[in-house]
Amino acid sequence: MALGQAGGSGRLLAWPRVLLFGDSITEYSFRENGWGTFLAERLVRKCDVVNRGLSGYNTRWAKLILPRLITKNAGAESTVAVAIFFGANDSSLEDLNPKQHVPLDEYAANLKSMIQYLKSVDITEDRIILITPPPLQESAWEKECLAKGYKLNRHNATTGEYAQACVQVARDCGTDVLDLWTLMQENQDFASYLSDGLHLSTKGNSFLAAQLWSRLERRLSALPSLLPYWRDVDHTDPAASLL
């Protein structure tokens, strides 16, 4: 008997999924001790955690990509949560980094556009969480910039304006929000959350993971484990347990 015909065929196993959509801070989240790795470990056998982090991207580009990642016919039904995590590149200074910079008003409009798109494919507000950019440790990031031959191209105060806009969009649209910029600066030594002034350190990854999980746990922890525990499989008739 062919594999696809076994037992008269079972239903396709469709894992629920959490979509992480963001820039390099998301792309790097599956590295060792990354915040995406933390989520994947918590949700193993319950839910796929899908990393769609795109290093260097801003919301102007992201809103064009999102409809290619999820549609009504491909992924929307199984998506139990979407994290949208942009702003670190949008908030670049226009005169020093025009390629990545997005004006503040457009940034907010782009976030709203992405939320509206998700709603149009039946992903409701309660399944969407916005994450603000983290704070910028300027002296550390300036060293990175100078090493590459250019001036400091971001300011923490400017990043804060984008973080506030992100929070306001969440309020306006009825989604959850994780205000990383504010929360991290409640610790006077917020630089320890950052590896180079911009991206997250191990401590920063742990902080984000804990904060995000506290918001997702109530929605996702009740998801059942998929397929029975091995001791519960009837070894004399595994099809009875598995199909």
Instruction: Please report the DSSP string for 93-137 in residue order.
Output: -TTT-TTT---HHHHHHHHHHHHHHHHHTT--GGGEEEEPPPP--
Q: Contact, 180 vs 133, CB < 8 A?
A: yes
Kindly tell me if the per-residue pLDDT of 8 is higher than 80: no
Q: Of the given ranges (49-58, 65-74, 193-202), which has the lowest mean pLDDT?
A: 65-74
Residue 125 in domain: yes
Q: Find the CATH number of the domain harbouring 145.
A: 3.40.50.1110
Which one of the listed residues 91, 92, 176, 199 is annotated catalytic? 199
Is residue 233 domain-resident?
Answer: no
Is 2 among the domain residues? no
Question: Could you tell me what percent of the chain has a pLDDT over 90?
Answer: 77
Residue 92: partners with Cβ closer than 8 Å, 6 or more residues away: 100, 101, 153, 154
Q: How confident is the model at residue 38 (pLDDT cuts 50, 70, 90)?
A: very high
Average pLDDT over the chain, rounded to whole? Answer: 92
CA angle 128, 79, 206 (to 5 degrees): 60
Q: What is the mean pLDDT of residues 178-183?
A: 97
Three-class SS state of 167:
helix
Residue 240 domain flag: no
Q: Render pLDDT for 111-136 as a digit per residue (tens, 0 to 9).
A: 999 999 999 999 999 999 999 999 99
User: β-strands 79-85, 128-131: how paired?
Assistant: parallel
**CA pair distance 77, 89, nearest whole angstrom:** 30
The Cα 29–Cα 57 span in angstroms is 15
> What's the domain range around 123?
17-216
* Annotated catalytic residue, options 122, 126, 172, 196: 196
pLDDT tens readout for residues 65-109? 999 999 988 777 889 999 999 999 999 999 999 999 999 999 999
Lowest mean pLDDT among 35-49, 99-113, 222-236: 222-236
Is residue 92 part of the annotated active site? The answer reads no
Mean pLDDT of the 133-161 span: 93
Q: For position 110, what pLDDT does the model report?
A: 98
Question: Does 98 map to a domain?
Answer: yes
To the query of whether residue 196 is one of the catalytic residues in this protein, the response is: yes
Nearest to 90 by CA among 127, 117, 118, 63: 63
pLDDT at 119: 96
Active site residue 199: yes
Residue 232 counted as domain residue: no
For residue 64, being part of any structural domain is answered with yes
134-147 mean pLDDT: 92
Longest CA–CA span in the chain (Å) reads 70
Domain count, the chain: 1
Q: Report the distance separating Cα 193 and Cα 199, nearest Å.
A: 8
Is pLDDT of 9 > 70?
no
End-to-end CA distance of the chain: 16
Judge whether residue 149 has pLDDT over 80. Answer: yes
Separation CA 129–CA 169 (nearest Å): 11
The catalytic residue among 24, 113, 192, 206 is: 24
Q: 136 lies in a domain?
A: yes
